[in-house]
Amino acid sequence: MRQILLLEDDESLNRGISFKLKKEGYEVLSSYSIREGKRLFSNNNIDLVICDINLEDGSGLDFCREIREISNVRFVFLTALDEEIDIVMGYEAGADDYITKPFSLAVLMSKVNAIFKRLEGGVSDKLESGNVCFIKNEMKVIVNGDEKVLSKNELKLLNILMEHPKQILSKKQLLECLWDIDGDYVDENTVAVNIRRLREKIELTPSKPAYIKNVRGIGYLWNMECRKNDR
């Protein structure tokens, strides 16, 4: 059974979301604080984190950054902060999705179900290019023998770039890769943000990238050949 960690300090909302998730067949570990959330995450095999940003004992943004240092777990913000800068900061912290309040429980459930459906539908192959190895069915990225922690959006960007080496992909194509056509937030700046974060994790010298090339005014391309191998 998939385990979901829910950090929400509004008791009524926490109970409502927990009830709905459990009804969908998930195991839910509820927390009302960052401190308790950290303990639950450390002591359990969490598959998805749903987190508010403004919690009584700290910031969900900081919690997300800490998680990203050690794990690729899927991370969704659920918050009343709906300004553009708030959304950008959420993705920069490492979120895979950002949902603003008020929200529909049906929409939340569809997003959660879609996340796990994608996880279970991985293909059994890997992509290799230079010192980068992307094991797709495990959503694992290894650079120079070291595993790197990437967010879902970074993994999706890496996948589409490596699947189309030496091919220029427009910002529009990359946006469509990152978010569904009816996504809550789509902005070209978020492509640049995720590309920068991806470079920092896979490029040996981010200031002189060997893998991801920016084609000014058009988009990006993976600038090396890729090999696809069955595992």
**Residue boundaries of the structural domains of the chain:** 3-120, 125-230
The pLDDT value given to residue 138: 74
Residue 182: per-residue pLDDT: 42
Q: What CATH number has the domain spanning 3-120?
A: 3.40.50.2300
pLDDT of residue 183: 44
Does 125-230 carry CATH code 3.40.50.300?
A: no
Say what the pLDDT of residue 124 is: 44
Would you place residue 190 in the very low, low, confident or very high pLDDT band (cuts 50, 70, 90)? confident
Indicate the pTM of the whole model: 0.58
Which residues fall within 8 angstroms of residue 225, CB to CB, at 6 or more apart?
A: 129, 165, 166
Separation of alpha carbons 69 and 18, rounded Å: 27
Strands of the chain, DSSP E: 3-7, 27-31, 48-51, 54-55, 58-59, 74-79, 97-100, 125-129, 132-135, 140-143, 146-148, 169-170, 212-215, 219-222, 227-230
17 or 120, greater pLDDT:
17
Dump pLDDT digits (tens) for 79-125. 999 898 999 999 999 898 899 998 889 989 988 998 888 777 654 46
Select, from the ranges 101-110, 204-213, 222-231, the one with the highest average predicted confidence (pLDDT).
Answer: 101-110
Q: Mean of the per-residue pLDDT values for the chain?
A: 86
- What integer pLDDT is reported at residue 123 of this predicted model? 44
Residue among 92, 39, 36, 40 nearest 65 (CA)? 92
Q: Is the confidence at residue 230, as pLDDT, over 60?
A: no
Q: 23-51: per-residue pLDDT in tens?
A: 999 999 999 999 999 999 999 989 999 99
Task: Give pLDDT, residue 201.
Answer: 92
* Identical fold between 3-120 and 125-230: no
